[in-house]
Amino acid sequence: MRTLFEYIPRILSAFKKRDQRRLRKLNDSVLRETAVDSTKINFRLAIISYVLSKIVSKPRLLSEECQPALSAIEYSLVKLVKKMRIADESMIMDLFSEIETNVSLLEERDPRFVIGLLSKGKLKMAATFYAQGMSLGIAAEMTGIDKQEILDYAGSTMMFDRLTEEKTLKERMKIARQLLSG
Amino acid sequence: MKKRDVIVDAGVLISLTSSCLDNLLYFYAEKYNLRFIIPPSVENEAVTVPLKKNIRKYLFSAIRIKNAIDAGVVVVVDAKLEEDIKNLMSIANNIFFVRGKPLHLIHKGETEMLILAKELGVEYILMDERTTRILIEAPILLKKHFEKEFHVNVMVNKKNLQKLTHEIGPLRTLRTSELVMLAYEKGYFKSFESLEKNVLEAALYKIKYSGCSIGFREIKEYMSGVR
């Protein structure tokens, strides 16, 4: 629960201040922690911290008419901060769900995108976990995103150029040719 | 000609079918007697579930993969290896440690492919999933990758690493990209005549955007050598 205790109050504070930079940094830290301690709670927190950073980066979601929904998100976060030390895993998951419901309410006012903030956040986090070195199966299971969606997303990024491969393309083609001749 | 078997993962089948490149499977089966083997979990993920749940996004791929199974080009083999899968998963997920905690790297589906290859004595595995591929080819590269990603020291349980290498055996990995490149060399795209090279390049980018773990650099490198 270290991640939770350490990061949730900071996420709440950054969200209240609408500090996108801080939220992104916190999201990076949660991501790193999640890779080391890959619990469902940490995965969920990674997704939520990403989504909150996206919310504060979009002026259309910070307008006057969005304030009630933003307050509801803040209220859910405050509840989480208060209860996190005494709550068990299922209670924490319920509180995460409450935050996610409030995020969806925020979007209901302006549903201009086919993929919602939460789905996009889950996809982005799943692709990041895969890029960090988790297998596709684990990234898919933990985020609830289809493997193919993660692959499509990863395929359009530079992630496969970042890791130095053990074998050169020439060596790989040699293996492929051996398959047909052997 | 002797049958040559290759174990294939769901990602490869889905990216080939959604890119309309699944005829490559028939091409290799007919001309080179290749047989593409999948475990039941791959059939379930790529065919049964999308058809049963009517997942529109994946129906086209599911039907085409089902066709390939019905045609005998893709063969489903149920080796019932639950215990072996559990054991290998436990080994692979206890190789790298950060702050005393093991890094969970691979999932049941990916482990099943490795166990199936071992059980059937298949030497080649066709997969686009990067982590498992690197774990087969050069697990120590993953350690370096994690250290770079997380800015921490990663400890290696050498005993488990040796066990993994022993369990996996001499597996050789292929990506969809090599299958496409090789098909080009064997004349698969000849019917495109003057556009043959263009269609190869387009096909490589298409599978790259479908998640095949090939870099932009590698595509450029291969294309620069194509006459």
Task: State how far residue B193 is from chain A, nearest Cα, in angstroms.
Answer: 23
With CB atoms and an 8 Å threshold, state whether A133 touches B142.
yes
Per-residue model confidence as pLDDT tens digits over A33-58: 888 888 889 999 999 999 999 999 98
Phi, psi of A156, rounded to the nearest 5 degrees: -90, 5
Same domain, B178 and B198: yes
Note the pLDDT of residue A9.
95
List CB contacts (< 8 A) between B170 and chain A.
none
Report d(CA A120, CA B79) in Å as an integer: 38
Per-residue model confidence as pLDDT tens digits over A132-143: 888 899 899 888
Answer whether residue A164 shows pLDDT above 90.
no
Chain B, residues 89-148, CB within 8 A of chain A, namely 98-99, 101, 103-110, 124, 128-132, 134, 137-138, 141-142, 145-146
**A36 has a chain B CB within 8 A of its CB:** yes
Torsion of CA B183, B223, B14, A153, to 10 degrees: 170
Task: Evaluate whether residue B126 is within a structural domain.
Answer: no
Per-residue model confidence as pLDDT tens digits over B50-106: 999 998 988 999 999 999 999 999 999 988 889 999 999 999 999 999 888 899 889
Same domain, B105 and B163: yes
List CB contacts (< 8 A) between B105 and chain A.
133-135, 138
**A72 has a chain B CB within 8 A of its CB:** no
Task: Evaluate whether residue B197 is within a structural domain.
Answer: yes
Confidence of residue B115 (pLDDT cuts 50, 70, 90): very high
Report d(CA A70, CA A162) in Å as an integer: 37
Chain B, residues 67-86, CB within 8 A of chain A, namely none
Strands B172-174 and B124-126, by their bridges, are: parallel
Q: How far apart are the first and last CA of chain B?
A: 31
Same domain, B166 and B180: no
What is the sign, positive or negative, of the torsion defined by CA atoms of A146, A147, A152, A156?
Answer: positive
Domain that holds residue B11: 4-78+174-224
Chain B, residues 199-218, CB within 8 A of chain A, namely 208-218
H-only helix segments in A17-168: 20-36, 40-57, 67-83, 89-108, 117-132, 136-143, 147-155, 159-162
Answer whether residue A108 shows pLDDT above 90.
no
Note the pLDDT of residue A112.
62
ipTM (interface pTM)? 0.90
Per-residue model confidence as pLDDT tens digits over B10-59: 989 988 998 999 999 999 999 999 999 999 999 999 999 999 999 898 89
Number of domains in chain A: 1
Task: Evaluate whether residue B202 is within a structural domain.
Answer: yes
Same domain, B152 and B188: no
Number of domains in chain B: 2
Per-residue model confidence as pLDDT tens digits over B119-128: 999 999 999 9
Same domain, B47 and B95: no
Same domain, B86 and B157: yes
In terms of Cα–Cα distance, which of A57, A67, A95 is closest to A79?
A: A95
Same domain, B186 and B161: no
Same domain, B63 and B10: yes
- Give me the DSSP letters along B58-70: HHHHHHHHHHHHH
Same domain, B181 and B144: no
Tracing tokens 């030390």 back to the chain, one arrives at A85
Task: State how far residue B218 is from chain A, nearest Cα, in angstroms.
Answer: 7
**B181 has a chain A CB within 8 A of its CB:** yes
Report d(CA B66, CA A178) in Å as an integer: 28
Same domain, B163 and B183: no
**A157 has a chain B CB within 8 A of its CB:** no
In terms of Cα–Cα distance, which of A178, A134, A161 is closest to B172?
A: A178
List CB contacts (< 8 A) between A32 and chain B.
149-151
Domain that holds residue A145: 2-181
How far is CA B41 from each of CA B68, B80, B110, rounded to the nearest angstrom? 16, 11, 10
| Per-chain mean pLDDT for chain A | 88
Same domain, B194 and B220: yes
Residue A25 tokens, joined: 């940094």
Same domain, B217 and B178: yes
Q: Which amino acid is at B149?
A: E
Strands B4-8 and B34-38, by their bridges, are: parallel
With CB atoms and an 8 Å threshold, state whether B222 touches A169.
yes
B3: left (phi over 0), alpha (psi -120 to 50) or beta: beta
Tracing tokens 């209670």 back to the chain, one arrives at A91
